[in-house]
Amino acid sequence: MMPRYWRVAAPALVLLAAACTPKPTPSAATPVPPPAAPSTAAADSAAAAAAAAARRDSLAAQARADSLARAALALSHADSVKTQVQGQSADTAPAATASGLSAADAATLADAIHFDYDRADVAAGDQARLDRKLAILAAHPRLAIQIAGNCDERGSTEYNLALGERRAAAAKRYLVAHGVAEGRIAIVSYGKEHPLDPGHDEGAWAKNRRDDFVVSRGAN
């Protein structure tokens, strides 16, 4: 049996021991890692994409500038060719010449031939018209003519100038192949500058796609 004084002293000793026991020191806070730096590969990719976009924008701007410059040059060239054709019309149109022909023969010689759209070959029906001109030219060896090729309003000035020349040359080749001396026939192209019909439909265009025949030296 515990002596009395131990029964009295034991609780006090327990409290004293508890008070003397050192308390644990709280641990230091765990350091927070700094934010991760962006990936070098991702940064390089973004920079490359930005550079590519800048290059595309620069190329697009250059292409637009080049396109505008070409359009301005083409317009200037077209105006120059148009002026040239108009001057050519005045310079090469033969002066009114007395043909020395009867009214019927003069009308037959002046009868125009016509062409399909964008074509320069002489149609079968127009070969008959040229044959009637051949008879008149054969009967009047001094007679000389000019053939003028014409086009409708569609297409550029330059293109129609070349097409009109091909049309005039086609009629000349036919006449020369059938016995007319080449020196008796001159050709000229007026492109789309001399329309017979100012309309803007197929009926007008068909009239304007033609070769005109004009006497440049009379029969007498």
C-alpha angle 127-131-136 in degrees, rounded to nearest 5 = 145
pLDDT tens string 169-195: 999 999 999 999 999 999 999 999 999
Nearest to 161 by CA among 70, 72, 77, 73: 77
Flag whether the pTM goes above 0.75: no
C-alpha angle 174-92-214 in degrees, rounded to nearest 5 = 45
Contacts of 5 (CB under 8 A, 6+ apart): none
pLDDT tens string 12-56: 555 555 555 555 555 555 566 665 555 677 777 888 888 888 888
Q: Can you tell me the mean pLDDT for 70-80?
A: 54
Fold of the 103-217 domain = 60s Ribosomal Protein L30; Chain: A; (3.30.1330)
